[in-house]
Structure 1
């Protein structure tokens, strides 16, 4: 009976494997084999980056056509500006892809200081006030928001400090100083604009740095308590923040006022259904949904492309999370690991916050959807982040070995990318060995005036070594012998 039972089980499992669709099995096998290739992370990241960029341009054109025509007399006004920002972003993406990793780390403090200076200058009359915040510089008609590159600077510099002090991170003063004071200074400058959404993203960058650096959980409990307390105080201090919080808890209480944005976004998602009304056929962009091409573009996606379009966007961001964490896990450079994980957490968290307040799970914060919403500084900075992640993907040990042995490949030759250098851990200096107190001039009998030692001196040295062994102290014996310095000389020559 036991043999029959085992045979039946084996037959059942074999039939289960046989009943699986052949196409799905072949697809899973091919995907697994492709992911094991050395440059799979690099190619997958480029694919996600290209899809998000093209999809964002199409949706910006669809969502902004009505508003562009009303404002500028052309349905392509916002789209042309977005196309220009994407061209600038592609340039800085390529620059970030080619920049050596050691150069990024060495000058991260310079980038942080420059961003802090810009955040301070934007609060002066040089800054431009719009939408209730003084957060922009406007040069030749082009707006620039300094808080966007400040997020990248905090990630690069914070990772450099934490990796440099990784042997001392068990002590709170080394874990938090100087990263926490610099971050708090940046939070203060951004809140003076005021910009609560960007401050929240900066807080996520700080938490990601500390989390992936191995900070204890009780520290996050304290920081979460402080963040909640600070958020409540900020909401009470400003009336419009309290109104947003109340409208989030009950958007139907003021459907034509503070709850208007949230309700119109939900109506647009509901109208889309499963397959949507069709690209360009949505009604919410006809002045029903404010900021349709920026903060609430996900609602337009749901209305025109339906649940299928929303699921595709979620899949693209999920793939971004997977490939970013894969790059962090497969690298051996601790700085690359920390920066890649932090930047990936920032991108995915910002996308989650934007989608969360569109579907009514979070209060409205005004954060754009990365690479999809219209906006200059956000698009350019997000492309810089993707360029850094692509650069880090080429620094995986398997990727470096493949690039050095097989050549740069078609994409590398097309982009003229340099071959990355392998990571070499820093050489730790060994402490100098002490040879005993008898090395001082004139401190013991080993200091002889003649260059050679006679038989009597050798006998005395041997007697000294025997007595020191009996007493348990061998340092004095080594110090009195003239034949022992060979070990010290060998150490010096290493």
Structure 2
């Protein structure tokens, strides 16, 4: 009878972890892993957002419109529009997007001016342009346009970016113009997001660190000026510093913390929260993360945080795995924009930042914000399909199940711009002693004949040239 020694539990656990890690590494090494992960994160965040908007908006919808589903129905309409935009962003070649980026930035600047002239004024600000029953917020698309166009300009001038005038002009002046137009509305939260887009472009393109020090000082000075210039913004900053000094100004922030505290670990249950019963204003917009914490608990908050963390990893991975410099810059900038906006929203809900009024991407209620965010996710997914290994797999093995279902064309391989051929040398200007007319033409013809004779190989200069007397060179 033989005895078999049993392995210790620690050894078996380490073996399972190593096996799981190797399997995960192998799966992440697949050509379309980033594309599938982007689709999964997009689907999960969209589903969570629709469910939480339905749960958070029932009371306000019934009070305002007599139906508990009024806000949710609008959210469904914008989600349908966003899914169409997501599909279009997947199908349009990235080269076409880069070509259209100049028109997009021009359209954004024009609409930012139009919203000040014909925009609808709500809560003291002009942010929306009404188009029939729908409304359009120009600043949301302006963020995407700045990212695409700024990346195009910086990549086109990448050989000259060591000079400040080429690094800053024209991207920074156009961005400052957009900042000014958005602040006139006024919309401090969207201005902060536009700043994030600009700083991300400069960071990923490799701007010197001293420039970011100047930008940080300018942002700090701008925040101080804006806070002093408006009473309600100053009240927000002071209530963040000392919440007990002004209970009215800190009301939203305190109610958000109460909702998170009541949720505990597992939450009260979906639809069972009390913050939406007129205790927390804008609960389905700016403070929907508080409803998640109250109804789904700490675990629900961890799921949302984990999805945005996964989005950050995937987006930066897409940027690193691409070879096209424009795609790398766009993927990194869009990723930082979405994750930074989510971090700012969650930060002021949990009391780490002053309230700025930014939405939680793909989760908060908001028509233009939701549709444009879905468009951005489509651009990121398209960037994932343009990774070199993904391009090779899609062009050799076909579109796959997801690509076939969505009718996606095969992406074009990256072709780096070749070196420009030297142009034909221009004729030097005629001096007083230079021959002209027939004499000049004769001299030129003589010079060309001489150069032709010099380039003609001979038997002595070219040992591999066959001899005229060889049998292989005779004509028969």
TM-score (normalised: structure 2): 0.89
Alpha carbons of structure 1 residues 65 and 449: separation in structure 2 relative to 1, 3 Å: closer
Which residue among 368, 383, 407 is the counterpart of 2:374? Answer: 383
Partner deviation per Cα, 1:350-372 (whole Å, 9 max, x = no partner): 00000000000000000000000
- Quick check: 1:348 aligned with 2:339? yes
Indicate which of 357, 363, 371 corresponds to 1:366: 357
| Cα distance in 1 for residues equivalent to 2:198 and 2:105 | 14
What is the CA-CA distance between 1:448 and the residue it aligns to?
A: 7.1
Contact 1:435 1:479 in 2 (8 A): no
Following the alignment from structure 2 to structure 1, what is the Cα–Cα distance between the partners of residues 359 and 321?
A: 30
TM-score in terms of structure 1 length: 0.86
2:43: which partner in 1?
50
**Equivalence map 1:86-485=2 (5 Å):** 86-124=79-117, 126-255=118-247, 257-431=248-422, 483-485=453-455
Tell me the CA shift for residue 132 of structure 1.
2.1
Cα distance, 1:429 vs structure 2: 1.2
| Mapping 1:5-84, distance limit 5 Å | 18-20=11-13, 23-84=16-77
Q: Judging changes above 3 Å, is the alpha-carbon distance between structure 1 residues 286 and 107 closer, same or farther for their aligned structure 2 residues? A: same
Distance of 2:318 and 2:220 partners within structure 1: 32
Give a deviation string over 1:203-243, Cα, whole Å, max 9, x none.
Answer: 00000000001100000000110110011011111111110
Q: Which range moved further: 180-189 or 138-147?
A: 138-147
Question: Number of aligned pairs?
Answer: 446
Please, what is the CA RMSD of the aligned residues?
2.6
Query: 8 Å contact 1:64–1:293 — kept in the other structure?
Result: yes
C-alpha deviation, 1:33, in angstroms: 1.2
Match of 2:471 in 1: none
| Distance in 2 separating the partners of 1:16 and 1:219 | 55
Cα offsets for 1:355-406 (capped at 9, x unmatched): 0000000000000000000000100010000000011111111001001111
Looking at both structures, which has the greater relative contact order when contacts are Cα pairs under 8 Å and sequence separation is at least 6? 2
Does the CA contact (< 8 Å) of 1:446 and 1:482 recur in 2?
no
Alignment partners' CA distance in 2, 1:326 and 1:48: 14
C-alpha distance in structure 2 between counterparts of 1:265 and 1:253, whole Å: 18
| Cα separation, 2, equivalents of 1:381 and 1:142 | 15
Is 1:60–1:79's contact at 8 Å kept on the other side of the alignment? yes
- Give unmatched runs, 5+ long, in structure 2: 1-6, 458-476
Secondary structure in structure 2 of the residue aligned to 1:370: coil
Query: Partner of 1:463 in structure 2?
Result: none
Could you list the per-position Cα deviations for residues 4-52 of structure 1 after superposition, in whole angstroms to 9, with x for gaps in the alignment?
xxxxxxxxxx979724255544432222111111000100000000000
Q: Report the Cα distance in structure 1 between the residues aligned to 2:105 and 2:10, rounded to whole angstroms.
A: 56
Change (3 A) 1:204 1:378: same
Q: Deviations over 1:241-294 (max 9, x none)?
A: 110000011112222x10100000001111111111111111111111111111
Distance 1:393 1:193, change over 3 A: same
What stretches of structure 1 of length at least 5 have no aligned partner?
A: 1-13, 454-477, 488-494
Name the stretch that deviates more: 217-226 or 129-138.
129-138
